[in-house]
Structure 1
Amino acid sequence: MPEGHTLFRLAREQDAAFAGREVRVSSPQGRFAREAALIDGRVLDDVTSYGKHLFAHFGADTVHVHLGLYGKYTTGTGEPPEPRGALRMRWEGPGEDGAGVWTDLRGATACELLDDGEVQSILDRLGPDPLRAKRGAAGRADSERAFARISRSRTSIGALLMDQSVLAGIGNVYRAEVLFRQRISPFRPGKAITVDEWEPLWEDTVTLMKAGVRAGRIVTTRPEDRARRTGQARRLDAHYVYRRAGLPCRICGTAVRTEVMVARNLFWCPSCQAD
């Protein structure tokens, strides 16, 4: 499932391609046809993201998309291809240079037209988004709001980080990697996490997710912990524990372990992240 940095980049790209211009909206598959007709030909105000949710604002109407496990956008310029298969939603616009731009959505868990109150109901259910956090004292409220939930919970920190009502936008990769970088066992109850542990964990999450936006991929390893210490991180060098079950820990050499936690494969080092 795409994590928060992917949605942030998608929002930025769609905003640059379509915002401020009339957009032709259709639903070749038919599942979004009634809603598409209501906004077809209207000017798109902007596109924003929050956590794993995408919001395209057409005046008082908002297209809400949650990609889920299988959702995907395909974007191109010029004439769009002939619609095929389960094409949920298509946008067509003039683009910045007038040459034409289009984007197709397939397989999303949610694609719906909402009013302002319905959008706010979604936002109210979500925890703070690290990608929206400000640095220093200005961003402390978001960190404190998340920690207030975590510090009262007996649920494991590995599960809490995947709970979008606690933190919005973190997925399986960031969950595994930020806990490893902070040397925190994913099995520790939230209430056992101290504020002195939480604050660097929060700051590291903000740093990693913003780096993910810039790079377009998740890289969590420090250069000194990679096989190749210069240049861009290769795919096999990008993570400390994620999808490295059975391989030696990059720091201590212990075999990385895996088991299912909240329906996703968790990865951790039993030595570096001892209970």
Structure 2
Amino acid sequence: MSDTAHMERAGRRRAAVLGSPIAHSLSPVLHRAAYRELGLVDWSYDRFEVDEAALPGFFERLDDTWAGLSLTMPLKRAVIPLLDEISETATSVEAVNTVVFTEDGRRVGDNTDIPGMVAALRERGIEQVDTAAILGAGATASSALAALARICTGEVVAYVRSEARAAEMRQWGERLEVEVSMADWADAAEALNFPLVVATTPAGTTDALARVVPEKPAALFDVLYDPWPTELAARWSMTGGAVISGFDLLVHQAVLQVEQMTGCPSVSSTAMRRALRLNEKG
């Protein structure tokens, strides 16, 4: 950061992650590591247990020392009415995971999960795919679909458990202008043959699929990081397939958050990954 930029941000030294539950969040590990690497000795990053009902009151208590907030469930949509502006990316999935407080006091929301997914895939050499499969149809699946809109040139097949979920994914497909077709979860083994599989389901949901991983799988993006590896990811890796984890997504979306909150461009992920490894050992 330039001396001028540092002076401009000198009074804005606080940031935090909000959500409920929040005790498990690794965001403080990542952001604090980035601050140390950037020499931002006066910056702090904390976590607060905040649910939807408490969110407006939390915002009211913020002063001008705050630079930004990271948001996890269940706040990614609840925060939108409290903001002055949200980015096109966040609007596309109606979900904000990043709030930046500008010098003139405005609250600006963005979604770094989507470009974070794209960055995590590109880091593994996946720049473009002809088709892809998504396992699941929850909130994370909509972000995955938005990420695939940037790299998938053909059809995306979503494997879902209910017609209600299928209807939601069709709506997201139309909104994001992605060609999406639905398949029943009972046929999810078929998804494992796609050039890219994005698993967005809760822990344990894909364990049974580990038994039917093909001999030469392509790429699996499993957005979970706790527990890790999942049974599917472990088997996938053992058979030689490429595996992108929730840790990769966590780091890349955090890099973008730090850049936005601090004004420091080109934040390196190296220190963040090192901090994660040390945290695991600790």
Decide: shared fold, TM above 0.5.
Answer: no
Question: What TM bracket, shorter-length normalisation?
Answer: under 0.3
**TM-score, normalised on structure 1?**
0.25
Relative to total residues, which structure has the larger helix share, 1 or 2?
2
- Highest CA radius of gyration, 1 or 2? 1
